[in-house]
Structure 1
C-alpha cells in the first residue's frame, strides 16, 4: 500500500443502501462527499416497494460489517426484516455514522459530464433550481432496482386488462376479487403469487423456463431460525463442478430432517409448513439437470410453493405467455385463461439517463454508460477500464445466493482506498483481460443463458473473497486455526457475514468483529455435513490433483 493519503471530492448519486455505505467508507478515508437523492428520504427501493414485503436474507447476512443496528438480539435471534424495518436500519446506520448532513434530498441529477479543461466531473442537479457541482470522482449508487424491466407480449395492444410491474403494487389487497397472472419465478414473483392466490379469485403463475433454486425464508419454521444460517464458508466452498451431486445430498438431507422433525416433535403428523417445504424440495429436484444449487439464482422465498400447494384449487402454474387476447392469455401449451391483471415480476434494467441523455456528455462517455449497463463487463462489476477509478458503479452485483448489501460494502471500501491512492488498479489491458476471464468463469458456473439475461449475477463467496483479497481484508484462516480455534470454527461453519472482513486490513475493527462472529447464531448439523464433504473434495484435490475437487474460494479467481 501507498502511504501517501490523497483526499478528493466525490459526488454520490443515489442514497439507498449503496449510496449510504459508499458515503460512510469515503468519509472514513477522509474524503469530501456530497450525496444526491431525488426522493424525500434515504433508503432507496425499500421505502418505495410493497410495504407488506420482507427481505429474503436474514439480518445477520444483510447487515453491514460494523453496524448491527439498535437490536442486539438480532445476532442470537436472527430473522427476516420487513422492508419497513430495513428502511429503519438504514436510517439508524445514517444516524450512527452521522451521514445525513452530507445528503441532499429531493435533488435530482439531470446531467453528468467531464470537463476536460479542468479534468473535473460536472453534475447538473435540480432541487427546485438548477445548480452545477464539481467533483474529482463519482460514485453511481442507483442500484439494480431503479428501472423496471417490462416484457412485451404478442397482441398486447388487444388486452383490455391491466399490465403492470410488481413495483407498482403497494398492498396485497389490490388483488381482491381479481383473476391475476404473475409472470416470473424470482423472489418478488413468489410474494406476488401467494398474495394473488390468497386474495384473488384465481391466480396463474407463468414461468417461461426453470424457476430459481427455491429456499424458504425459514428452513423448518420460525423456531429453527432463517434458512440462510447455513450460508457458511464451508458450504459455499463446495466445488462448483459438483453442483448436481451437492444438490442431491443437500435436498435428501433436508427431506430426512423434515421427516425426523415431524416424527420427533409432531407425533408423525405433517403440518402445512412441512408439506410446503417438501414440495419445494421436489420442485428443485425435478429440474436438477438444468438448474442445480450452484448454477442458477436462488429464489429465497418459498411462497411460490405455498401458493401452488395450499391454494391448489385456485392457483395454477403455467408456461410462458404465447399471446394476449382482449380479456385472456393464451399460454405456450395453448391453454387459455381469462384474467383481469398481469403482474410482471421480470426484474429491472440498468439505466443512466443523466449520462445517456445528457446534451453535455460526449459520445465516448455515453458509450461507456451504455456498456456499464452490463455489470459483469465492468472490472469487478464496478469500474470501466476506460475511466479507471474516476467513476465507480456500486451496488450492481447480485449474488446468486446471498445478500447484495455485504457485496456493495466491499465495493465501497475498495473504491475509497482507490480514491486515497492506497490501492492501485492494473493497466487497461490487464483489466480487460481479467474481465474476459471472469465472464468466462461466470458462464461456466452459471451458464451462458443466465449470465446473458442477468448481467449482474455473480457467486457470493468467490466474489466477496476476491474483493477482500484486493482490499487486503481477507482473514488468514490458517493462522486463526492454530491461534483461535473457536473463532476459526465460527468463521468456517457460522453464517457468512461481512464481519469476517473487519478482522484485519484497512479500517479493521477486530474486537467488534470477533464479538459479532462469536455471538452470531449458527446451525450445526448441515454445516458439519458440509465440512465433511469439503474435506473429502479437498483430499482428492490435494492428493490426486483432481482440479474439479478444488474448494471454491480457497484460491484467487
Structure 2
C-alpha cells in the first residue's frame, strides 16, 4: 500500500478506534472524526440528557449510572490488547470499559490522529476519492478534505425507535426512551410501564425496582418469559393493545395505570451524512448493497464496521477490519461487482427462507461464528479464538432467566481453547 493513501474514520468509539489502529498498521495516513469531546462512543456517560432540553435524538450515548456489562469482559477485549489483570470480575462497570478503550487508544498511539468535536456533515465520492465535509462544533467552521478510503464507524445506537401503538398520543404521563435513562432514583415511588424485555429492558427494570412503586413489564416472550420473581413489585404483561390517558389496555384484555413509560424498543439505523452518490439504500435498519455486511459494492473503498447485530462487538470490529484490509492493502482482489451482488442476494434469500424480515438483514446472533468463518475462508485471516465460542455457551441469554445472579459468575481464560468458570470469592 502506498504510504500516501489517506483514510477517514467516522467515529471514535470502539469500532472507530479499531479501524484507525489497523489503517495505521497498514501504512495509511489516517484521521478519525468524533462528534463528542472524548473518545469511547456509547461508553461515555453524560448527564445532559437530564437537563430537560435535549431530545432523545440529540443525546449521543445511552450509558446510564451504575451500568455493568451484560457480556463478560473475556469476550469484549481485542485479541492484541487485554483488560487489566487486576479486574477479577467478568461483568464490569461501564467506566472500566471506557478506561480500557482509552488505554487501547494510548497504547496504539491513536490519539494524535483523532479530531474531537468534529461532526461529519456529508460524505460523497468525487473523482475516485471521498470528499468529506466536516463541521468544527467549537468554531462553527466547515472543512472539506479528500480521502482514498473511508470507514463508517458511527454506531447504530443513536436514533431511538418507538412503537406506533394506538393511543400513544392520548397518554398524559411521562414518556422516555431507554436511550435517555440515567438514574434509577428518578423513579422513586413511580408506577412504570417498561416496554420491552430485551437486555436494556431487563437491566433497567432491575435498576429501578428498589425505587419504583410498581413496574409493568410488557413484552412478547410468551414461551420463555423472563424470571422476575425476585422483584416483588414487577408484574409481567403482554404487549400493549392501546394506550389511554393514564395507562394502557394490554392484548390479554387487562388494564393498568402508570405514571411513566420507558420504551426499551431499540434503535433505527441512521447514516444521515451519506450522499445519494454513495449508491446505498439505508432503510429499515438495512444498508444495501454491501458485500459481507461491510464493503460498499458500488464504491468498494468505503466500508462499514459494526453493522451486524447480536454479535460480540469487539470480536466483530476486529475481524471485519482484518477482513477488509486484506483487500485495501492489495493482498487480495475483491470479486467482481456482479459476483458480490449475487453473494449478497444469496444471503438475503437465505434470511427470507428463515422468515426474517428486511429489518433483520444484518442480524447474526447465534450465527455470528458462521459469519466469522466466512470472512476467514475468503481471506485466510486468523479466526477469533475458539475459547470465545465455547465461553459464549456459558453466558448467553442469562439476563432473562438468571438476572439476579448471572453477574456473580466470573471467567478466566486459560489459553485460546480453554477457560474456567467460578463464583466470585471462590478463587
- TM-score tier after normalising by the smaller chain length: 0.7 to 0.9
Number of the residue aligned with 1:101: 112
Matched with 2:208 is 196
How far does residue 60 in structure 1 lie from its aligned partner after superposition? Answer: 1.0
1:319 aligns with 2:230: no
Number of equivalences: 381
Measure the CA separation in 2 of the matches of 1:91 and 1:24. Answer: 13
* 1:31 counterpart (3, 28, 32): 28
Instruction: After TM superposition, list the pairs within 5 Å mapping 1:76-95 onto structure 2.
Output: 77=88, 79-95=90-106
Aligned partner of 1:379 in structure 2 is 291
Instruction: Give me the whole-angstrom Cα distance separating, in 2, the residues matched to 1:336 and 1:492.
Output: 44
Query: Partner of 1:123 in structure 2?
Result: 132
Query: Secondary structure of 1:522's partner?
Result: strand
Contact in 1 for aligned 2:131/2:147 (Cα 8 Å): yes
Deviation for aligned residue 1:180: 0.6
3-state SS of 1:34 partner: strand
Instruction: Give the direction of change, closer, same or farther, for the CA distance of 1:443–1:60 in structure 2 (3 Å limit).
Output: farther
1:330 aligns with 2:249: yes
Offset of 1:5 from its aligned partner? 5.8
Alignment partner of 1:72 out of 63, 85, 90: 85
Distance in 2 of aligned mates of 1:320 and 1:373 = 22
User: In the TM superposition, what is the alpha-carbon distance from 1:177 to its structure 2 partner?
Assistant: 0.9
2:273 match: secondary structure: helix
Q: Summarize deviations over 1:186-238 as a string: whole Å, max 9, x none.
A: 1001112223322101101111x337xxxxxxxxxxxxxxxxxxxxxxxxxxx
After superposition, the C-alpha distances for 1:104-153 in whole angstroms (9 at most, x for unaligned) are 0111111122223xx22111111121111111111110112122112222
Matched ranges for 1:424-463 at <5 A: 424-444=333-353, 447-449=354-356, 451-458=357-364, 459-463=367-371
* 2:123 aligned counterpart, secondary structure: strand
TM-score if structure 2 supplies the norm length?
A: 0.82
Contact 1:125 1:132 survives alignment (8 Å): yes
User: Offset of 1:369 from its aligned partner?
Assistant: 4.4
Structure-1 separation of matches of 2:373 and 2:148: 29
1:315, distance to aligned residue in structure 2 (A): 1.1
Matches for 1:395-410 after TM superposition, within 5 Å = 395-399=306-310, 402-410=311-319
Match of 1:254 in 2: none
> 2: distance between equivalents of 1:395 and 1:386?
19
Residue 43 (structure 2) pairs with residue 46 (structure 1): yes
Aligned equivalents of 1:164 and 1:475: distance in 2?
41
Deviation at 1:41, TM superposition (A): 0.8
Q: Is the 8 A contact 1:372 1:378 kept in 2?
A: no
SS where residue 108 of structure 1 aligns? strand
The structure that is helix-richer by fraction is 1
Kept in 1, the 8 Å contact 2:373–2:383? The answer is no
Structure ID, larger Rg? 1
Match of 2:409 in 1: none
Matching of residue 470 in structure 1 with residue 390 in structure 2? no
Residues 206, 432 of structure 1: alpha-carbon distance in 2 compared, 3 angstrom cutoff: same
Alignment of 1:58-457 (within 5 A): 58-69=72-83, 71-73=84-86, 77=88, 79-116=90-127, 119-127=128-136, 128=139, 129-207=141-219, 209-210=220-221, 284=224, 304-305=226-227, 308-312=228-232, 314-355=233-274, 361=275, 363-365=276-278, 368-370=280-282, 373-375=285-287, 378-388=290-300, 390-399=301-310, 402-444=311-353, 447-449=354-356, 451-457=357-363
Equivalent residue, structure 2, for 1:522:
420
| CA distance 1:9–1:120, shift in 2 (3 Å) | same
Runs of 4+ in 1 over 4 A off after TM superposition: 4-7, 490-494
Deviation at 1:412, TM superposition (A): 1.3
Coordinate RMSD, CA, aligned: 2.7
TM-score, length basis structure 1: 0.64
Equivalence for 2:50: none
Find the aligned partners of 2:414 and 2:340 in 1 and give their Cα distance: 35
CA gap 1:494/1:338 in 2 versus in 1, 3 angstroms: closer
**In 2, distance between residues paired with 1:95 and 1:344?**
37
Change (3 A) 1:40 1:473: same
Identify which of 378, 391, 394 aligns with 1:495. Answer: 391
Which of structures 1 and 2 has the larger relative contact order (alpha carbons within 8 angstroms, sep 6+)?
1
1:9 matched to 2:6: yes
Distance 1:371 1:424, change over 3 A: farther
- Kept after mapping to 1: 8 A contact 2:387/2:419: no
User: Unpaired segments of 5 or more residues in structure 2?
Assistant: 45-60, 394-412, 423-427
Q: Secondary structure of the equivalent of 2:9?
A: strand
- SS of 1:461's equivalent in the other structure is helix
Instruction: Give structure 1 stretches of 5+ with no counterpart.
Output: 212-282, 287-303, 356-360, 477-487, 498-514, 525-557
- Give the conservation status (yes or no) of the 8 Å contact 1:52–1:172: no
Call closer, same or farther: CA 1:516–1:147 in 2, change over 3 Å.
Answer: farther
Name the CA distance, whole Å, in 2 between partners of 1:59 and 1:341.
Answer: 33
The structure with more strand, counted as a fraction of residues: 2
Residues 6 and 421, structure 1, Cα contact 8 Å, conserved in 2: no
